[in-house]
Amino acid sequence: MPAVISARGLVKRYGDFTAVDGIDFDIEQGESFGFLGPNGAGKSTTMRMISAVSTRTDGTLDVLGLDTNDHGPEIRAQLGVVPQADTLDTELRARDNLVVYGRYFGLPRAVVQQRADELLAFAQLEEKAKARVDDLSGGMKRRLTIARGLMNEPRILLLDEPTTGLDPQARHILWDRLFRLKERGTTLVLTTHFMDEAEQLCDRLVVVDHGRIVAEGSPASLIREHSSREVLEVRFGSSRNAEAAAAMQGIGDRLEVLPDRILVYAHDGDAALQAIHAKDLKPITSLVRRSSLEDVFLRLTGRTLIE
Ligand SMILES: Nc1ncnc2c1ncn2[C@@H]1O[C@H](COP(=O)(O)OP(=O)(O)OP(=O)(O)O)[C@@H](O)[C@H]1O
Ligand SMILES: [Mg+2]
């Protein structure tokens, strides 16, 4: 599969500050690719360079075989973009946002009208066609922005934090719509700082931190490579945490001592809990769970994703 987006040594500096610090990635056609990282990691900066609205400082970046610095208009015509902050026109009704955006691409009026109706249906917003943008919920605005991004029938849809700020139900509706796009063969490129979103949506992702890629792979392979099968979380109360952690040395493969709890990385979490009980340590609460991308991030950076 040829890469539809390809970066080598990609750098973005703002004055003395380096926001993106020499990253390499290849995104294949039809795949769902994610940038997972905390606030300030350089995710939006990277997305703006891919969408050819911000120039790079160094390195190479090709989208659909074209250099983003030289071919902005051609690239933008073939991309759908969902920016981190909604940029809907609040002067216009929901459907008119789609129509005006479609006209901007020079599409004939009849085509634009038909597509607007199809995409309102796809975004489950038919009943809101005539609603004012300000009267839509956060999830509806996000879905309308996605519908707008699809007006030019893009081969690649870029989504910067598609579900930040949404409640769980609104997130699930949105994930479902994105799954459908993926099934139709649209290449999805998304950023997120939610590990569950990355696990749900991404075939492959890069973990980014301070403008650098610290790991790359499928969610399952990243977890296999950088974490244990299970994690036991135990709480002893803040005053006993350090002392308990000292007594727990040797249990499981690795311990991670957080301010409010201790994470025990182990193949068998229940066996680790038994080992703790055998030492007569009595946690206030205990929980065994599967390893997640959050654990991968903690392992690689020593920090949690959402601080
Ligand atoms: N126009 C700009 N001028 C100066 N610094 C900038 C500019 N845009 C971004 N930065 C800095 O670059 C770094 C990366 O910002 P960016 O928005 O790419 O992060 P992000 O990973 O998208 O974070 P978030 O999860 O908060 O959206 C930050 O430290 C930010 O302050
Ligand atoms: Mg951002």
Q: Which residue puts its alpha carbon closest to atom 11 of ligand 1?
A: 19
User: CB-based burial of residue 104 (10 Å sphere; 0-12 exposed, 13-18 middle, 19+ buried)?
Assistant: exposed
- Architecture of domain 228-290 in this structure: 2-Layer Sandwich (3.30)
Nearest to 47 by CA among 2, 83, 90: 83
Q: Which residue puts its alpha carbon closest to atom 27 of ligand 1?
A: 39
Is the Cβ–Cβ distance between 205 and 33 less than 8 Å? yes
CA of 104 relative to ligand 2 center, distance in Å: 26
Q: Which residue has the tokens 């994610």?
A: 34
pLDDT of residue 1: 67
pLDDT of residue 306: 66
Which ligand places an atom closest to the C-alpha of 40? 1
The residue type of 83 is P
Scanning the chain, the segments in alpha helix (DSSP H) are 43-50, 72-78, 94-104, 109-122, 138-149, 168-183, 195-201, 219-226, 241-247, 269-278, 293-301
Sign of CA dihedral 68, 74, 75, 77: positive
Number of C-beta neighbours around residue 134 at 10 A: 9
Nearest atom, ligand 1, residue 17 CA: 5
Q: Can you tell me the distance from the alpha carbon of 108 to that of 162, in angstroms, rounded to the nearest whole number?
A: 29
Look up residue 220 and give its two tokens. Answer: 């399952």
Look up residue 57 and give its two tokens. Answer: 């400082």
Pocket test for ligand 1, best of 11, 17, 159 (most atoms within 8 A of CB): 17
CA of 181 relative to ligand 2 center, distance in Å: 23
How big is the CA angle at 167 (ends 208 and 211), to the nearest 5 degrees? 10
Q: Which residues pair with 10 in a beta bridge?
A: 23
Q: What are phi and psi of 165, to 5 degrees?
A: 90, 0
User: CB-based burial of residue 67 (10 Å sphere; 0-12 exposed, 13-18 middle, 19+ buried)?
Assistant: middle
Three-class SS state of 262? strand
Number of C-beta neighbours around residue 222 at 10 A: 27
Which ligand places an atom closest to the C-alpha of 37? 1
Residues with CB under 6 A from ligand 1: 14, 17, 19, 37, 39-45, 84, 193
pLDDT of residue 177: 86
User: CB-based burial of residue 113 (10 Å sphere; 0-12 exposed, 13-18 middle, 19+ buried)?
Assistant: middle
pLDDT of residue 238: 81
In the chain, what are the domain boundaries?
3-218, 228-290
Fold of 3-218: Rossmann fold (3.40.50)
Q: Can you tell me the distance from the alpha carbon of 178 to that of 196, in angstroms, rounded to the nearest whole number?
A: 15
Q: Which residue puts its alpha carbon closest to atom 9 of ligand 1?
A: 45
Q: What are phi and psi of 143, to 5 degrees?
A: -65, -35
Q: Can you tell me the distance from the alpha carbon of 205 to that of 220, in angstroms, rounded to the nearest whole number?
A: 11
Nearest atom, ligand 1, residue 47 CA: 18
Show pLDDT as tens, one digit a residue, over the chain (307 residues). Answer: 679 999 999 999 999 999 999 999 999 999 999 999 999 999 999 999 999 999 999 999 999 999 999 999 999 999 999 999 889 999 999 999 999 999 988 889 999 999 999 999 999 999 999 999 999 999 999 999 999 999 999 999 999 999 988 888 888 988 998 999 999 999 999 999 888 899 999 999 999 999 999 999 999 999 999 999 999 999 998 888 889 999 999 999 999 999 889 999 999 999 999 999 999 999 999 999 999 999 999 999 888 776 5
